[in-house]
Amino acid sequence: MLKYYLRCSRRPWQRKRASPSQLRLSTVVPRGVFCFSVCRAASDTPCCPVTCRGWAETGLPTGMVLSMKSEGEEPSTKKRRLGSQCDTSTPEEETRVSNEKEALCLSVAQDEEKHTSKKGTVKRHWEHFCQHSRTMKILEKKETDQSNTESEAKFDFTVMSYNILSQNLLEDNPHLYKHCRQRLLIWTYRFPNILQEIKQLDADVLCLQEVQEDHYRTEIKSSLESLGYHCEYKMRTGRKPDGCATCFKTSKFSLISSKPVEFFRRDIPLLDRDNVGLVLLLRPKFHCKTNAAICIANTHLLYNPRRGDIKLTQLAILLAEIASVAPQKDGTFCPVILCGDFNSVPGSPLYRFIKEGKLNYEGLAIGKVSGQEQFPRGQRILPIPIWPKKLGISQNCVYEIKQQQKEEKAGEKLEAAKPDNAQNIVIAPEKLSSKLQHHFKLSSVYSHYVPETGIPEVTTCHSRSAVTVDYIFYSAANDDTAAQPGAEDSFRGGLKLLGRLALLTEKDIWTVNGLPNENNSSDHLPLLAEFRLIER
């Protein structure tokens, strides 16, 4: 009869015996237990490896590591003590044995990959929006709508937003990746997978987050340039060595301007975080309109769920930068695409502010801005105004420096014209507004829920959570069938959403052991959408 033991990976000599039925029904694992052994009563022969299906039948949490050891084996700490007393092997021999073990493990892993790589992939289908029937249909692969309207000049292109997971952040947060095998987490394994995803999806514009600076400089930039991309990069301003990269195919676009955005302000205590963004103005390469332009914004907002004040201020700075770049000569805005990891969930106040263009934050708790926590710990109410006046950004999320200069000059003239004997008049200060606004009517590429079931889609999944925090927002044309209600065409022309790469549910992702896994080497999924630029 088999004996089953739960064994602590930190203290291997501590074991807890359990019957097979207890293992199958168990849903709670003692604190500190990160692996379990399956042992025979009177045999040193290891049991057969447990398959993924067998693992699921135990009821134990995914991410536990299965260790096949015999019951009579000595605890590892004891073996080390004994080894130090009687081991006479030289360092060279130890190195040789270690290398042989690594080679053996790699060989076994490669054999395993051959059998599981196909099974370890969850297929993501392409969702195409039919502009005439105003419906969405699911396709096996991306197709382009070939409909032709003479009054419109069409330019179709694809945009990807992808948080590729900085290796430095991965190694600083190992608790998020307990479910992963260690070999899947090394950069030399991850980067070829990430590059392969980028090649396969073949987007015309890439908005990447968590791009580590040394990796960008040594291999990411050159690899993407070999694929026909021009790359712009902005590193974080603090100690963390990652940043945002926006890349575009030179065969489809030319660069008009590139503006790196720093959210850190040395003289403003509120803005003491090192997050960044990039705002590019691109010119499509087609012959109908020589002055056509598209604004591409890419960012990674602060994670901290309890600092909604910082998140909103960072977003306001980014929107102000877009507003300074996107205006056209006729007073309208060029189409805008806003991508990134916003560290906020669908339906949260920050999310609604982006989509609806307005937010009354009076009485709003600072921990509820992003909606990341079901029971937020940040109960402090947002101050009015959120950011100080010296930031130079109005409640409409535009730079007001010129307006301030005009007001100051007008005030000086009024003061000079004031009679010397005039009495001072006390005027009650005007109540400060708690309403934020921005000029862009943006729609989300994704609806965030599976249409048939209403189950939430997710864009990131690791040991701690599975949620949506990554988005592609865009300025929709009037006749865009995929636009959310309220999206108005305040732009020159606008964008039609032609299709998108479907997202997955948390259940889907855990069928391949979460993220990262053997085929997907980030803890985020890439988002991909196809647009049509409409010029009138």
Rg of the Cα trace of the chain? 28
Are the CB atoms for 342 and 301 separated by under 8 Å? Answer: yes
What CATH number has the domain bearing residue 259?
Answer: 3.60.10.10
Does residue 372 belong to any structural domain of this protein? yes
- Give the confidence band of 408 by pLDDT, cuts at 50, 70, 90: low
Bigger pLDDT: 23 vs 210: 210
Give dist(CA 495, CA 473) in Å, integer. Answer: 11
How far apart are the C-alpha atoms of 221 and 225, rounded to whole Å? 6
pLDDT band at 320 (very low <50, low <70, confident <90, very high): very high
d(CA 337, CA 352): 16
Q: Is the pLDDT of residue 445 over 60?
A: yes
Residue 426 lies in a domain: no
pLDDT value at residue 286 = 80
- Two tokens at 347? 């339906």
Cα 529 versus chain centre, distance: 15
pLDDT single digits (tens) 225-256? 999 999 999 999 999 999 999 999 999 999 99
For residue 379, give its domain range. Answer: 152-397+433-535
* φ and ψ of 325, to 5 deg: -105, -35
Q: Omega into 385 within 30° of 0, i.e. cis?
A: yes
In the chain, how many H helices and how many E strands?
A: 12, 24
What is the arithmetic mean of pLDDT over 456-468? Answer: 97
In which order are the strands placed within the sheet that holds 35-40? 15-18, 2-7, 35-40, 65-67
* CB-count burial class (<10 Å; 0-12, 13-18, 19+) for 233: buried
pLDDT at 388: 97
Q: How confident is the model at residue 141 (pLDDT cuts 50, 70, 90)?
A: low
Point out the least confidently predicted range of 7-16, 204-213, 319-328.
Answer: 7-16
Distance CA 430, CA 440 (A): 27
- Find out whether 201 and 526 touch, Cβ atoms under 8 Å: yes
Counted domains in the chain: 1
Mean pLDDT lowest for which of 111-120, 260-269, 290-299, 370-379?
111-120
Within a domain: 28: no
**pLDDT for residue 116 is more than 60:** no
Contact 315, 391 (CB under 8 A): no
The residue-averaged pLDDT of 252-273 equals 98
Spatial separation of the C-alpha atoms in residues 118 and 125, rounded to whole Å: 16
Label residue 287 by pLDDT band (50, 70, 90).
low
Mean pLDDT of 267-296: 91
Tokens representing 390 are 């010296």
Q: What is the mean pLDDT of residues 181-208?
A: 98
Q: If you average pLDDT over each of 28-37, 84-93, 430-439, 463-472, which comes out highest? A: 463-472
Rounded to the nearest integer, the mean pLDDT of the chain is: 79
| Confidence (pLDDT) at 378 | 72
Is residue 388 a part of any domain in this protein? yes
pLDDT at 19 over 60: no
Query: Which carries the bigger pLDDT value, residue 429 or residue 76?
Result: 429
CA distance 396 to 140: 43
Residues 387, 389: Cα–Cα separation, whole Å: 7
- pLDDT tier for residue 468 given thresholds of 50, 70 and 90: very high
Q: Please list, residue by residue across 497-509, b when 16 or more beta carbons sit within 10 angstroms of its beta carbon and e when fewer do.
A: bbbbbbbbbeebb
226 within some domain: yes
- Does 11 have pLDDT greater than 80? no
Q: Judge whether 181 and 359 are in contact, CB under 8 Å.
A: no
User: What is the Cα–Cα distance from 39 to 45, expressed in whole angstroms?
Assistant: 9
Per-residue pLDDT band for 479 (boundaries 50, 70, 90) equals confident
Q: pLDDT tens digits for 413-435?
A: 556 655 555 555 444 445 689 99
* Angle CA 176–370–239, to nearest 5: 55
**Given this model, what pLDDT does residue 152 score?**
52
pLDDT of residue 61: 45
Q: Give a yes or no: residue 133 inside a domain.
A: no
- 109 located within any domain: no
Residue type, 251: S
Q: Mean pLDDT over residues 203-222, rounded? A: 98
* pLDDT score of 175 more than 50: yes
Residues 215, 220, 221, CA angle at the centre, nearest 5°? Answer: 115
- Tell me what pLDDT residue 444 has: 98
pLDDT one-digit tens code per residue, 328-363: 988 899 999 999 999 999 999 999 999 999 999 999
pLDDT for the residue numbered 92: 52
Return the SS3 of 199.
helix
Across the range 32-36, mean pLDDT stands at 42
Q: Decide if pLDDT at 65 tops 50.
A: no
**Predicted structure pTM score:** 0.74
The strand ranges marked E within 45-144 are 65-67, 126-130, 135-139
Q: Which amino acid is at 450?
A: V
Selection from 463, 243, 430, 218 nearest residue 341 by Cα = 243
Return the minimum-mean-pLDDT range out of 117-121, 329-333, 409-413, 485-489: 485-489
How many other C-beta atoms are found inside a 10 Å radius of the C-beta of residue 496? 25
What are the tokens at 289?
């309109």
Range 4-30 average pLDDT: 43
Does some domain include residue 521?
yes
% of the chain surpassing 70 pLDDT: 65
Residues linked to residue 160 through DSSP beta bridges, in sequence order: 206, 528
Which carries the bigger pLDDT value, residue 279 or residue 144? Answer: 279
What are the tokens at 515? Answer: 């993220």
Q: Is the peptide bond before 516 cis (omega within 30 degrees of 0)?
A: yes
**pLDDT for the residue 121:** 82
Q: What is the pLDDT of residue 138?
A: 75
pLDDT at 483: 74
What is the per-residue burial (b if ≥16 Cβ within 10 Å, else e) of 200-211? ebebbbbbbbbb
CA distance 471 to 350: 12
pLDDT value of residue 318: 98
Q: Report how far residue 373's alpha carbon sits from residue 378's, in angstroms, rounded to the nearest whole number.
A: 10
**What pLDDT is recorded for position 2?**
43
The residue type of 207 is: C
pLDDT > 90: percent of the chain: 58
pLDDT beyond 80 at 218:
yes
Give the model confidence (pLDDT) of 377-391 as tens digits.
878 999 999 999 999
